[in-house]
Amino acid sequence: MNIDKNHVVSVHYTLHSVEANGEKTFIEQTNPEQPLVFLYGVGMMLPKFEQEIAGLTSGDKKSFSVHPQEGYGERFENATTQLPVEMFEQSGMPPVGAMLPLQDQDGNMVNATVLEVNPELVTVDLNHPMAGKTLAFDIEVVATRPATEEELSHGHAHGADGHLGH
């Protein structure tokens, strides 16, 4: 069965970032027992990622790149902000490098990376961690199947076999 809209897709992948000189840096990979399982065609994955795997079937392997403009956008050096330490009285001060879930003025969720902590302010980077990076994927399709009505109504996959509901 070929990957198509409203299919549950399971893939194994290895992800690297690619520097301007062509050098690759390992980012992450799935483990053999736990493929990435997602609902295809509903906006869960980068559009370029979905475009590259469209029509593939179980056992197919493919390598492809996603450039910043097709992925998480360019990196903006001035996309930082300072948060008052009072925001962290309940949760405690975050360490440098921590990811903080924040909400912008329009109610959108934004993950910020802590750059600096001092007694008055916490400075965070609002760029996506993958912004400005060319991403190189090596994927293997483990399985694809039509999504169940329940998965479609929930907007996400319930596991490779559809039985990991909630």
| Structural domains in the chain plus CATH codes | 7-72+130-154 (3.10.50.40), 80-125 (2.40.10.330)
| Mean pLDDT, the chain, integer | 93
pLDDT at 163 over 90: no
How many whole angstroms separate alpha carbon 148 and alpha carbon 128?
32
Q: Provide the 10 A C-beta neighbour count for residue 42.
A: 16
Confidence check: pLDDT of 165 > 60: no
- Is the separation of the CB atoms in 47 and 54 below 8 Å? no
76-107 tens-digit pLDDT: 999 999 999 999 999 899 999 999 999 888 88
pLDDT at 131: 95
Given a cut of 90, is residue 4 above it in pLDDT? Answer: yes
Question: In residues, how long is the chain?
Answer: 166
Q: Whole-prediction pTM value?
A: 0.82
pLDDT tens readout for residues 31-81: 989 999 999 999 889 999 999 999 999 999 999 999 999 999 999 999 999
| Over residues 116-140, mean pLDDT | 95
Q: pLDDT-derived band of residue 158, with 50, 70 and 90 as boundaries?
A: confident
Tell me the C-alpha to C-alpha distance, in Å, between residue 99 and each of 93, 130, 139. Answer: 12, 13, 27
Answer yes or no: is pLDDT of 162 > 90.
Answer: no
d(Cα 119, Cα 124) in Å, to the nearest integer? 15
Taking phi over 0 as left and psi of -120 to 50 as alpha, with beta for the rest, 33 belongs to: alpha
Q: How far apart are CA 17 and CA 130, in angstroms?
A: 9
